[in-house]
Amino acid sequence: MKSHYSGYSWAAMAILAPCFSLIIFAHETPFQSVLHNYSAEGFSIEEATIPQIQQAFKAGKLTSRGLVEFYLDRIKKLNPLLHAVIEVNPDALLLADIADTQRLKAGGTIESALHGIPVLIKDNIASNDKLNTTAGSFALLGSKVARDAGVVNKLRKSGAIILGKASLSEWAHFRSSNAPSGWSARGRQAKDPYVLTADPCGSSTGSAVGVAANMAAVTLGTETDGSILCPSGANAVVGIKPTVGLTSRAGVIPISHHQDTVGPICRTVTDAVYLLDEIVGYDPRDHRASKRAAPFIPKGGYKQFLKPDGLHGKRLGIVRGPDFSKMSGSSEAVSFEKHLATLRQKGATLVANSGIDAILNANNGIEENTILLYDFKHDLNIYLSELLQSPVRTLADIIAFNKRHPQEEKIFEYGQDYFLEAQNTSNFNAKDYKKSLKRVQSITKNGIDKVLKDYKLDALVAPGNNFNIVSLLAIAGYPGIIVPAGYDKSGVPFGICFGGGRGSEPTLIKISYDFEHATKIRKIPMYKI
């Protein structure tokens, strides 16, 4: 849901907390000043991209063990303050050693781009190993999944190392409208590594914070409405929200089969695309959606669209949104206009009056909310019923668990209004559910689809905090990519969002990659108290 609505046990985390006392001695300090940056043979891991890491593997300058040790050290030092990671994989170093052995036997070169690369995955994505999958809630602690999520299965086949589980807004921010973004009972409050008091957004908060602070090479998040795009923008990283079905949702704790999607959150467009390439594809356990999306996957994958001239000849519809006037004079508004000039300089044609604002106003969120409430109860109950073991088997069980554990789950502070509303829904034959589905389909067909076609647009461009366009992409099931776009006067990051029609990832990748290289906005985090 959008923001505005293991290795380390809790005991271990309490022990590790004093490690961070070293960092809190000034109002502003670069993380690197108190952290050791692993360097060997002239290779620095901090901010290293997947291609750079693979080249270091090949040249014998780096091992997967050394890489994993670096990230475990970062987690040990940073997590007591940032709360980006709920658990680390106790087998991470063993898996790293296996990867190193495989690479040695292969003569130093393995085809998979993710082989030996540590990946942090959001805690609502199932992994059939020693890690828990809990959506940040104590209600699912100790539950046992039957198998890896579809995307995790693909990661393992690629040779990637599951580093651990990232924190999140509990239940992907679909428990309570009052809980802050990035809070969960198990993970506590995740914090923006640039400005600790800033809203880190959610619900894929830990994934965004973790990769921004170099606590992982790359991460996976999920989105129903804004949960990849918003935290990526707020933490100066790149997020790709794929077309619904392009990546399997099987084994992901659900909100809605209509809108849920899994996507990369990384420091660069290149890394995000490399990760995307490894997780897309048909999955019989997510048959309907993945079959529909599979034809959009290009032969040869998505890396071929990382082009330096990706903006040339593109037609982009500008989406300022109904609230943009309120941002007048702000850092984000000024930067957005500056970036529009950059897009023009790179050869793009910008269309200012495409009629998209009228569509944004038509989408008031009521229909979407109705759909999500019905879907959540239905989809979650199915997920829970398929667990091999679990203390809860239905949404009603979770509501009861929270009532029995109000302190741990902060029920008195935040409540569980979304849960209660969802529990009160009936079935998919309900008139308000069917009416809402038709309304959303109409907004998509006669709205975003029509605008893209009538104005011959390749994509839409909007400020990263424009939740109107993010929600429009969400209800349509369409892709979006957010790229770092600047920092406000307090140092809080913000992004710029590119969105398009179903299966338009190749075009969005071209645009995003070219923009990223033309602007080079991202910088290493500095925390401010």
* Active centre residues (catalytic): 122, 203, 227
Q: How far apart are the first and last CA of the chain?
A: 28
Return the SS3 of 452: helix
**Cβ atoms within 10 A of the Cβ of 89, count?**
24
Closest to 306 (Cα-Cα) out of 54, 515, 4, 501 = 515
For residue 290, the Cα-to-chain-centroid distance in whole angstroms is 19
Long-range contacts of 42-47 (CB under 8 A, 24+ apart): 45/70, 45/214, 46/214, 46/524, 47/214, 47/267, 47/524
Number of other residues whose CB lies within 10 A of the CB of residue 31: 21
Separation CA 357–CA 340 (nearest Å): 18
Triad 218, 483, 243: Cα angle to 5°: 75
**Looking at the DSSP assignment, which residues form a beta bridge with residue 484?**
495
Task: Kindly give the residue spans of alpha helices, DSSP state H, lying in 144-254.
Answer: 150-158, 170-173, 205-212, 229-234
For residues 158 and 117, is the Cβ–Cβ distance under 8 A? no
7 close to 87: Cβ distance less than 8 angstroms: yes
The answer to whether the CB of 226 falls within 8 A of the CB of 273 is: no
Tokens in use for 8?
A: 């380390």
**Residue indicated by tokens 């704790």:** 253
3-state secondary structure of 334: helix
**CA–CA dist 200, 221 (Å, integer):** 14
Residue 144: beta bridge partners?
A: 389
Helix (H, G, I), strand (E, B) or coil at 2: coil
Q: What are phi and psi of 145, to 5 degrees?
A: -85, 155
